[in-house]
Structure 1
């Protein structure tokens, strides 16, 4: 497979029993960075497979991207024989990661105790909605649910006339996925020093509360509180892209140096000497008034005029890009961010790996595989004989696609 095994995680083997987006995004990063990720799916496959659009109804665009570079092993884990297959494979794996609730993974007999018995050095990662030691532990969780529970929806309401809204991205899944990635890598690093595997828990809810509170805990870090949990600059109704005379622009005049440079651009008008503009503290205390004044000023010139003036003054500013714009963004094109290739699904465009390693660069593997496309290869590598593999296939404990589908898989 193109790209697999190239990168700083070359040689790491991951058994990936995750679905939808949080876990698959985490393991996509591992695959991009060289790990051998074996995606374990049930007979019906990951539900994300069936999200349109796509030429193949079982391999939609999101699935092709977030599962790139992985191999697919299809097992019916409700069958004891399939469970034994997974435990045998775990003996030579570095990581086992799942995204099931604690009760569900326990019913399958695949909790940490079982995997540790198969391999004491394994890193076992639980990626699920709510921490298992709290009263929410058995609640189902998807991105919308965790956005609502974590305070993000309430924060959005402050910018939309009090109407609760979700962010226009699956931020809970992706932040929790990234958190799972760094936690697993940290555990692998610790194992290199101690020789010990361990269990990791990455609950979406707690992760997103931590994420939201980075800036918003504010005065509530003190006991008794010195103020509510809210960073007022971020929640000000005036914090938004600014209207110019012919469109909109993103501007971030943040520190004292920026404001002095901005006033110089304007010719230091009388209002710029108002004490509320004098310091970070005074601007923050009057943030809505400060930003409202800025909005009025920005309306007086075109977007291009402001971009020219502000960039010369080294004040952060940018045009408002659409996602379509980004497909042809000159910076992304120049850096080679987008990677296009011809596949059985036609020409595909993948977003690139955002990190760069000078000595061990990663590489994007082929698009997400057909369900069970690699079952036979993975089982053979795991030490199963041809007769054992055939028996597993005949019983339905292991699944592979029809021969013509397998032959066409890249």
Structure 2
């Protein structure tokens, strides 16, 4: 049992049937499970592909899967078989949310098209998590993180700043879209509580990530007629980076007029605060490359520790650069109980999982371990009203599978 589904959890009593796989959908449903929903992960007989992505100590339990699927139960149904599809429909009778990343053209064959779902389950929130909106010419095209990073402007932003077209070294499109999907599903559940009716929720990665990229970078194209081109100069400056110090690197963010005045005084150049190039936000933005070039020169003259102390003294945001390894022993993350250790499921130790940082009434929610493939099939079917004979028939036909 997922500990976060106990009474008192914010989403206690909400049942989610999750047909999604890889990262976009599972990241969204993991948040729902973290907040107390009962998440039933319906997998194919082969299982989610991320079960084999990254290092693993037990078959089907690779690191990427572990990072996306805590607080869930795994059911295997073969939706290519009529009996598997019928079993899914019975699970939906007791569900609040269905989420999937199935392309629109395949939904009808599974009995999951919008019209059928609305007629059979009027209170169901059905969330379609796909690459592109269904009303546009790209509808139905396959989409993965790299594709959406390229199409949504993220690669262009990196190219403008560095001169080289590269992806962000994280699955940014999948995870950002996943966060928006979780938010949209929660909004739909709130709407249902008011109206009594479910709805169809569409969360297309391309549109979500294009919106994300353009918040600050629509810039002069915000206005009609335009006042300039796209791109926010301060963020795109090639000199906006962690700065070299005498012995490492520093993230520092003088931002307001007061910040810059205190910084220039600290380095013995107080007159620069009145320099027309740097006097005010608008002037600094126009001359951002010159400003950041000066900042880099000044920071290189002292050690990282000296600068962290100096910035704390003059109240300017600054921090040393953490490596991924540093996070594992970070004193703040340790103090707030950010990491949780759970049984690995193979009898050979534990797995360490990062939390969300979210607390309700001052408390973070405990996790349950990510499930083995088909670990909960019989339990879930039994709770949905299947008798022992029906379950045995599904298992014998291969329409369902239960882990050993």
Is TM > 0.5 for Structure 1 vs Structure 2?
yes
Measure, in 2, the Cα distance between the counterparts of 1:167 and 1:253.
25
Measure, in 2, the Cα distance between the counterparts of 1:113 and 1:88.
17
Q: Could you say which residue in structure 2 is the equivalent of 1:407? A: none
Instruction: Map 1:217-236; keep pairs closer than 5 Å.
Output: 217-236=218-237
Q: Could you say which residue in structure 2 is the equivalent of 1:103? A: 105
Shift of 1:360: 7.3
TM-score, structure 2 normalization: 0.96
Shift of 1:5: 0.6
Shift of 1:106: 2.9
Answer whether contact 2:267 2:298 (CA < 8 A) is retained.
Answer: no
| Paired residue secondary structure (1:8) | coil
| Paired residue secondary structure (1:165) | coil
Distance 1:342 1:391, change over 3 A: closer
Question: Unaligned 5+ residue runs, structure 2?
Answer: none
Shift of 1:107: 2.9
Answer whether contact 1:32 1:365 (CA < 8 A) is retained.
Answer: no
Moved over 4 A (4+): none
Q: Could you say which residue in structure 2 is the equivalent of 1:350? A: 353
CA-based RMSD of the aligned residues comes to 1.4
Aligned residues: 400
Measure, in 2, the Cα distance between the counterparts of 1:381 and 1:286.
65
Q: Could you say which residue in structure 2 is the equivalent of 1:132? A: 134
Measure, in 1, the Cα distance between the counterparts of 2:212 and 2:267.
37
Answer whether contact 2:357 2:364 (CA < 8 A) is retained.
Answer: no
Measure, in 2, the Cα distance between the counterparts of 1:265 and 1:4.
49
Q: Could you say which residue in structure 2 is the equivalent of 1:312? A: 313
| Paired residue secondary structure (1:349) | strand
Instruction: Map 1:375-390; keep pairs closer than 5 Å.
Output: 375-390=377-392
Q: Could you say which residue in structure 2 is the equivalent of 1:324? A: 325
Q: Could you say which residue in structure 2 is the equivalent of 1:10? A: 12
| Paired residue secondary structure (1:48) | helix
Instruction: Map 1:52-91; keep pairs closer than 5 Å.
Output: 52-91=54-93
Answer whether contact 1:250 1:319 (CA < 8 A) is retained.
Answer: yes
Measure, in 1, the Cα distance between the counterparts of 2:240 and 2:384.
56
1:400 corresponds to which of 395, 399, 402: 402
Deviations 1:277-308 (A, max 9, x none): 11000000111111111111111111111111
1:113 corresponds to which of 90, 112, 115: 115
Kindly indicate whether residue 229 of structure 2 is the aligned counterpart of residue 262 of structure 1. no
Answer whether contact 2:17 2:41 (CA < 8 A) is retained.
Answer: yes
Shift of 1:354: 1.4
Answer whether contact 2:132 2:207 (CA < 8 A) is retained.
Answer: yes
Deviations 1:330-379 (A, max 9, x none): 1111111111234334221111231111077533122x211111110111
Question: Unaligned 5+ residue runs, structure 1?
Answer: 403-410
Shift of 1:52: 2.6
Instruction: Map 1:183-222; keep pairs closer than 5 Å.
Output: 183-222=184-223
Measure, in 2, the Cα distance between the counterparts of 1:93 and 1:361.
26
